[in-house]
Amino acid sequence: MVVRGGCRATGQRGGCPYIFDLRPRVIILYSQALRRLGEDCIDKRFIRTNDRIRAREIRVIDDEGGLLGIMPPYEALKKAREKNLDLVEISPTAQPPVCRIMDYGKYLYQQEKKEREAKKHQKTITVKEVKFRINVDDHDYETKKNHVLRFLDEGDKVKATIFFRGREMTRTSLGRQILERLIKDVEPHSIVEFRPRQEGNTLHAILAPKKSEAPKKAEKEKPRPAAASAPNPAPPPAQVAKPAS
């Protein structure tokens, strides 16, 4: 190891060079960055459990959510072992760190199950590209427009592109007219995310599917339940005619 000026120490460990900066301010900045990293992105691979908890004192929560107080880790681990459970550090940045007695394997299984359920219901939006030419005829334009409408109905975004070749760069206004015509034709089914813009020899626009208002209309038009009919009133008692005297 070589020390230069009392500030830096360099060396080699396991075939990999390393550098430590011994200045106090740099060490403080490093620790703050690591603390922020730990708070923002917590990975289950770095969660300390059982014997890996190295704090001098920890605040312990039992498996039912009750607070057991502050104690050394070995006492908390002893309580966890009595219940055949694990001691898990859930808040390492607190003072003192907070640990909970739980079934760690069951906890990881439930978290993975939630992630799988979230991915199952997640809608993936892709961008489909439809290419036009400035000399496109009406039949070809209608075919490509139908492709755009189909992609939008499927919930995908559409990138309409016009590629200019050679002398076509002098007629970019024709390409812009085609894209503006397309935007107008599919307006009831789309939202324009990017108006036609040119990048080099390519002109493109991006369309997104419009959120359907059908569920709202169906909710409004849903018939109200009919009011319960009132029971028929009882007929008035029959009047008995008195005999004539």
DSSP notation for 83-108: TT-EEEEEETTSSSPEEEEE-HHHHH
Of 5, 8, 33, 32, which Cα lies nearest the Cα of 20? 8
List all residues 6 or more positions away from 129 whose beta carbon is below 8 Å from its beta carbon.
Answer: 158, 159, 160, 161
* Ranges of CATH 3.10.20.80 domains, the chain: 43-120
Rounded-to-integer distance, Cα 214 and Cα 219, Å: 8
- pLDDT tens column, 77-110: 998 898 899 998 888 888 889 999 998 888 888 8
Tell me the CB-side half-sphere exposure of residue 96, using CA atoms within 13 A.
16
The pLDDT score that the predictor gives to residue 244 is 52
* Ranges of CATH 3.30.110.10 domains, the chain: 127-212
- pLDDT tens column, 221-239: 455 555 444 455 555 555 5
- pLDDT tens column, 20-78: 444 444 334 434 433 443 444 445 667 888 888 888 899 999 888 888 889 998 898 99
Domain 43-120: CATH architecture, name and number where available: Roll (3.10)
> What mean pLDDT comes out for the span 108-124?
83
User: What sign for the dihedral angle of Cα 34, 38, 40, 43?
Assistant: positive
Give the class (CATH, top level) of 127-212: alpha beta
Q: Six-digit token pair at 130?
A: 């439809």
